[in-house]
Amino acid sequence: MTSSDHLAYREALGAYALGALPDAEAEQVRHHLQSCSECRAELDSLRSAVDALPASVDPVPPPPELKDRLMAIVTSEAALLRAAGDAADQPAPAPRRRRWSTGPRFPLAVGFAVACLAAVVVALVTTGTSTRTVPVQVTAQVLGQAHASLAIRGDSAQLNVAGLPAPPPGHVDELWVKRGDAPPAPAGTFILRTGSVALSVPVRSGDQVLMTIEPGRGTAQPTTAPLLVARV
């Protein structure tokens, strides 16, 4: 394998990590990775960056017109490629004669553009519309009786519980969102053994979601130790 072939494989790793290569080219990269420890190591570092993309920005709901804009771009680019012919996405021929190589011929400019677009779509879609589940720590008072998890979608959160003990008479379960050093903010009250309840305030990365038992219809600040704790 020539150094130029190896360079072509390395330059294709970014698109490969994002799943943006055509099947035939992805198969070439997979075959190359079996015998190239250097590219395997670089791919591992790229995959770590791809996995970190959703957490690198604050979650924001995508605008409703995002899908229409993306589809318009894709349709426009496809029309341009059809009009230009099959060779439009191929590299320009070399200005001088050179030895033919059996190595890969990845359209680098197109591959880079596809990779960038894929990265933007992954970040927007993952952070804006997907739901992730956060484990909830159950304290000793209810350990072994209750199970809970926190579902996060954008800046909205929903607590899912099963087998939660009912609060004493004249009391309610109350949710809180604690952000940094600020006092916990009330996020809703409920009386529920099994089911789901949505938090009434938005959450951000790094927030803590707490549940305490409070008297009456709830309080402005927690008066008891939390029974459930989760970090967003």
Q: Which residues contact 193 (CB under 8 A, 6 or more apart)?
A: 161, 163, 164, 165, 166
CA–CA separation, 10 vs 165, rounded Å?
A: 57
Distances (CA, A) of 102 to 4, 13, 51, 65, 136: 11, 19, 33, 44, 55
Domains present along the chain, CATH in parentheses: 3-129 (no CATH), 132-231 (2.60.40)
The pTM for the full model equals: 0.46
For the chain, give the percent of residues with pLDDT over 90.
30
Confidence check: pLDDT of 94 > 70: no
Residues 56-68 have a mean pLDDT of 61
Higher pLDDT, 105 or 161: 161
Of 42-51, 66-75, 121-130, 206-215, least confident by mean pLDDT is: 121-130
Pick from 106, 119, 227: nearest CA to 165: 227
Residues 158-175 have a mean pLDDT of 91
Pick from 173, 167, 172, 177: nearest CA to 206: 177
Question: Quick check: 213 and 172 in contact, CB under 8 A?
Answer: yes
